[in-house]
Amino acid sequence: MGIKIIGTGKKLPKHMVTNEALATFLDTSDEWIVSKTGIKTRAVCTEESLTDLAEAASRIALTKAGINMCDVDMLIGATMTGDYNMPSMACCVLERLGGVCPAFDMSAACSGFIYALDAADAFISAGKAKTVLIVAAEMMSRMVDWNDRASSILFGDGACACVVTKGSSLKYIHTTADAQVDTLFARAGRGNNPFIEESIPSGYLEMQGQQVYKFAVKTIEKEIHLALNAINMKAEDVDYFILHQANTRIIDGARSRLQLPAEKFPMNIERYGNMSAASIPILLDEMIDDSRIKTGDILMLIGFGAGMTAGTAVLEW
């Protein structure tokens, strides 16, 4: 392992949807949504494409890193909601930025950013790239059924990019999957294939809420213990646990079981909802911008999502 993040940048849609707005067409209320999820608003694309968000986030990250696109050797997208089935979101962003390098997407749902970070570490450590641009971006608003109260209240759209180069920041990284397809999924469908008797249409996101909750809380606890044991650290040595922003009840549930203080678990889900692969880097970017993260801080990033995938990274900033 030998990488560091030298620049981050985020971009959110202009349109913010409040709980009160959802209550105009769903049987719900601000009080109910906050009590169940901790979410009050979420950003939803109405004018922007996902490529628009990803491009803007990338330009900000490159500027902060002090480099140009010609310095980037590889572009890795982390998404499951690209504007096209093909080409990849990464190729769409590459075209906008005017770059020429390998570009591909990784689909690991809400663990996508950690998976992409792991891939960047592998390529850089193997000497196949010096600088990698990771773009984690999701338009969850195109995956949910807006008539379904259980899922539509949870998600938001957003993008964040990170410039990764050789360094000594990454202390630990682990990715895995505990295959449970039916727990959280969205069917691809079969198009209009004339050779099958019954067409299977593309579907909206479906999930088993209780199973997702149990998996997430168990996974957070397990991943923290694995990481701490691997690098011979204690929980108090970690300055911030930057978790996928799925639901405040999940984060609070895991934190309570671990008996760790709330100040070590920053959250922005109240404003943005669940942005899948984009949630971890967007929170990281916000904490960098407002100087919460300082040189020498130990950060543990944990993602968990459909698949069921999980990923953990420990960084010394």
**Any idea which residues carry the catalytic annotation?**
110, 244, 274
Contact partners, residue 218, CB within 8 Å, separation at least 6:
none
